[in-house]
Amino acid sequence: MNLRKYFGFSRVSFRESAVYRVDVLTSLISSGLFLVLYYFVWSAIASAGELNSSLGEIMIYFVIGQVVTNTVFVNVEKFVGERIRRGTIVNELKRPIGLFSQAYFDQLGSIVFNFVSKSLPIALLGFYIVDFALPSLYNLIIFSLSLFLGFNLVFLFSFSTSMLIFWTKVEWSVRGTRNHIQKILSGTLFPLFLLPDYLKPFFNLLPFQAMVDGPIRIFMGLGLEQSVMVLLNQIVWCLIFLVVSRLSWRKAKNKLTVQGG
Amino acid sequence: MLESAKKHLRIYQKFFLMYFKTILVYKTDFLLGVVNQVFSFVSSLALIALIFTQIDYINGWSFYELVIVYGIGRMVIYGFHLFCFNIVFLGEAYIINGKLDRLFLRPLNILFQVFASRVNFHNLSDILASTIMVLYASYQIQVSVITLPNILYLLMAIPSAIMVVAAVILVFATMGFWIGPTKSLVNLFWKFRRFGRFPYGIYSLPLRVFFVTAMPIMFVSFFPASFILNRPEWVEYQALTLFIGPLLFLLAYRFWLYGLSKYSSTGS
Amino acid sequence: MTLIKAENLSKNFRIYQRGDGIKGYLKSFIKREYEEVEAVQDLDLEIEEGEMIGYIGSNGAGKSTTVKMLTGILEPSSGKIEVNGRNPHKQRKKNAMDIGVVFGQKTQLWWDLPVRESFKLLKEIYEVNKEDYEERIDEFDEVLQLSDFWDQPVRKLSLGQKMRCELAAAFLHHPKIVYLDEPTIGLDVAVKERIRDFIKKMNRQENITVMLTTHDIGDIEDLCERVVVLDKGKKIYDGQLDSLVNRFTSRRLIMDIRNGEKFDLEMDGINEVERKDGHVEIVFDREIISASDLMREILSQYDVLDFQIKEPNIESVVKKVYNEGLED
């Protein structure tokens, strides 16, 4: 297993991301706007006086949420869709390094870049403005692990849905739909700890909370036992979607070889 | 002058009909678009619903009232996408790739050609869904919302709001003549839309000013909705909504003409 | 009648240097460095109605800039243009009614619509009446065979098919002038011929003036008697194609010589000696030494088995023009 070959993909994608500097600016501005908006909305909500939590806690949740999503939310649809559109997808079948691995290491390069250029600045700025307590060192370590697992989960999920592109031919609808579902169910748009009891089971049974909400809670000071539960939850979902992604890739490969491009 | 206007109108009709026919051809694309829109729709509604699990009123606005604000905003945005989608691409596709030159060679107004060359019928389903949503929410509210004056108002306010959006996008596109790709600016504008879904009153003064001037998104959803929901506090803005579209668009058009003349004199 | 008249036409461009990275991007808002380029300098051009002229020059010589000024896209920096009695930039729309343009790769048809619908739209835009339109389409179909793909969306057409449509579209409304930029690029020989025949037919039948910009020698040979050569924005030749070719006085003598490797001749007028594929090739200047004198000299010294004299073809002439410009 020549790992250097694989990490070559990561290096390329890292460098590619580094070229699009305007993209970094717009991501940061976008996250900033998001936080500003939610500050006002939740201030208005909090002023009614019926909230179970403090405005501060909610804002910290959102800030860490932005830190997490900027790293963890990847778009495999673009990677796969481009190759399908250009027709080069057929070449991928001949290569020694499969599409799956290529996509994985490519995304890995992007998230490293995103973490450094987007998540860290947001975290630092957020820390300065919203004033939250730094988590303990061990929480930070487990958080990092959880972040990495979250990326893996999003990647596997996104790869699985990307297989649909072999049938839909265009990637924007798959990506758009997936993003809408992810954003609302993962805790990006609404703090899951505020959910009324009748909704909690529904959200908890889905993989999305493991993508964003889990890591956020760890960062915000979850105890050891519960942190481990979060990690296990993420690992279980990763395994499930590992199977799903392999099966769907096989199905897509069949379609490719049987029906052509 | 009049002859020219009639000719442009006739040609727009032809384009319109032709693009309508293309829906039948691109059935899969159409359906995929519908699926995507449904999820976008549902997730935004879900967000408002989740927020309202915490309280009953934001700044005095109830759940169904905010649904109406959201719905009207959607009608405007997708109305924009229906008629004016192409000006979003003005920067990249036309100015940078040189497609703009082609438009000089036809005996028609250049900006008109950009509009006419794409009628995005995909968005009809969305406009329909948003209208149904507004109607449903109106039905849930005790105060009667579907009245004749309200309908007349919306028939004027919504096109005006569409023109506001078109004006902003046109300005961004025209800036492309000088600073290159402005797609990221356009994307940023879409992000501002979200602010228009919540009551004007929750924002601080500087933001309020911003959302009525530089980024006039309040005219897109909030003020029109506030009229039909009988909110007298904003009556000046509600009236302004009717005129601000054509006004801003005229200014944007002037800017566009200036950009065009610079293009012709200094090249791309 | 002079249809196109350009006097002292000049066009200068400012090429702005765009900064690198975020710093450069922001800096470019404050102060921008630029380079001033003279794309067209003091051009005088007169084209009579019914002429078919070739407008050639190396890349960057200013050809497309000239065409863009003549068609109203660009405003000249100085000088006068009159096309069919109008200023093409100031009276853009009116001028557009009388011209047709084929711009190589950039299509004038609508990508998503079937060809049939694109033409219907053009009919409306250029105000072609119904009978005339139908006659025209039939006429075009004969030569260009558009019915093969009449119902297909433009994006599904092959390059050759698209080009046939572009030409039909350019001539549809009986324009006075048609500007063709690389109309046969990338096409196979059969299609090229068909297209050239079509252009000739239109020119003969309706006296349509044609201004052709192309790298294709066959196009020029077949269609144009007059060529205008542009180099670095200046007109360096305006006249008959034959005369241009004759200007080039170098000839090529190709010989089969026994013991050719030992060929070693130096004479006044011989510019180059090459050994290629077992032949000996001599490039000589016929103004300094005639072909027969050269041959006599060689025959007296060597055992020549076979020989051939090659005239410069337009290809090499044009290639030379494109690569080096014309040295006077």
Averaged pLDDT, B136-157? 87
Write down the pLDDT at residue C23.
65
Those of residues 26-55 in A touching chain B at CB distance below 8 A are 26, 29-30, 33-34, 36-37, 40-41, 43-45, 48, 50-51
Alpha-carbon distance values, B249 to A251, B199, B244, C122, C270 (Å): 51, 25, 8, 28, 71
Query: Rounded to a whole number, what is the distance in Å from the CA of B20 to chain C's nearest CA?
Result: 11
| B242 pLDDT more than 80 | yes
Contacting residues for A182 by C-beta, under 8 A, at least 6 apart: A73, A154, A188, A208, A211
- For A28-78, the three-class secondary structure string (H helix, E strand, C coil) is HHHHHHHHHHHHHHHHHHHHCCCCCCCHHHHHHHHHHHHHHHHHHCCCHHH
Positive or negative: CA dihedral C77, C83, C85, C89? negative
Cα separation, A79 vs B241, in Å, equals 43
Contacts of C107 in chain B (CB under 8 A): 102
Q: Among residues A231, A213, A186, which one has the least CA distance to residue A239?
A: A231
pLDDT bucket at C323, cuts 50 / 70 / 90: low
Contacting residues for C112 by C-beta, under 8 A, at least 6 apart: B19, B22, C153, C154, C155
pLDDT digit string, tens, across residues A120-159: 999 988 888 877 778 888 888 999 999 999 999 999 999 9
Out of C43-57, C222-236, C283-297, pick the least confident.
Answer: C283-297
Cα separation, B106 vs B97, in Å, equals 18
Cα separation, C252 vs C259, in Å, equals 20
The residue that leads in pLDDT, C313 or A187, is A187
Q: Among residues A168, A8, A149, A150, which one has the least CA distance to residue A80?
A: A168
pLDDT digit string, tens, across residues A68-126: 999 999 999 999 988 888 878 777 777 767 888 889 999 999 999 999 999 999 998 88
pLDDT mean across residues, chain C: 84
Write down the pLDDT at residue C26.
64
Cα separation, C54 vs C37, in Å, equals 25
Write down the pLDDT at residue C204.
93
Name C10's bridge partners.
C78
pLDDT mean across residues, chain B: 88
Q: Among residues B158, B110, B57, which one has the least CA distance to residue B264?
A: B110
pLDDT digit string, tens, across residues C109-153: 888 788 998 999 999 999 999 999 999 999 898 888 888 889 888
All structural domains of chain C, each given as residue ranges with its CATH number in brackets, are 2-245 (3.40.50.300), 249-311 (3.30.70.980)
Q: Which residues of B235-259 are buried (b: 16+ CB within 10 A; e: fewer)?
A: eebbebbbebbeebbeebbebbeeb
**For B159, which DSSP code?**
H
Averaged pLDDT, B110-121? 87
Q: Does A112 touch chain B if contact means CB atoms closer than 8 Å?
A: no
φ/ψ of residue C274, rounded to 5: -130, 145
Write down the pLDDT at residue C132.
92
pLDDT digit string, tens, across residues C214-268: 877 778 888 988 999 888 888 888 888 877 776 666 778 888 887 777 777 788 8
Query: For chain B, give me the number of helices (H) and strands (E)?
Result: 11, 0
Whether residue A25 and residue C22 make contact (CB cut-off 8 A), yes or no, is yes
Residue type, C90: K
**Closest CB from B29, B198, B203 relative to A170:** B29
Q: Among residues A75, A7, A97, A81, which one has the least CA distance to residue A89?
A: A81
Out of A97-111, B108-122, B221-235, C235-249, pick the least confident.
Answer: C235-249
Q: Find the helix or strand (DSSP H, E) in which C19 lies.
A: none
Q: Find the helix or strand (DSSP H, E) in which A154 lies.
A: helix A137-162
Alpha-carbon distance values, B204 to A44, B208, B255, C102, C263 (Å): 11, 6, 31, 56, 93
Q: C-alpha A131: how far from its chain's center?
A: 25
Nearest CA in chain A to B182: A22
Contacts of B28 in chain A (CB under 8 A): 168-169
Q: Is the pTM of this model over 0.80?
A: yes
pLDDT bucket at C328, cuts 50 / 70 / 90: very low
Q: Does A206 touch chain B if contact means CB atoms closer than 8 Å?
A: no
Q: What share of chain B is helix, strand, coil (3-state, %, to 5)?
A: 80, 0, 20
Cα separation, B172 vs B159, in Å, equals 20
Name C270's bridge partners.
C284
Q: Does A193 touch chain B if contact means CB atoms closer than 8 Å?
A: no
Cα separation, B10 vs C248, in Å, equals 56
**Closest CB from C18, C92, C117 relative to B18:** C117
Q: Is C176 helix (H, G, I), strand (E, B) or coil?
A: coil
Write down the pLDDT at residue B253.
95
Whether residue C89 and residue B264 make contact (CB cut-off 8 A), yes or no, is yes
The residue that leads in pLDDT, A97 or C48, is C48
Query: Rounded to a whole number, what is the distance in Å from the CA of A81 to chain C's nearest CA?
Result: 20
Out of A2-16, A208-222, B123-137, pick the least confident.
Answer: A2-16
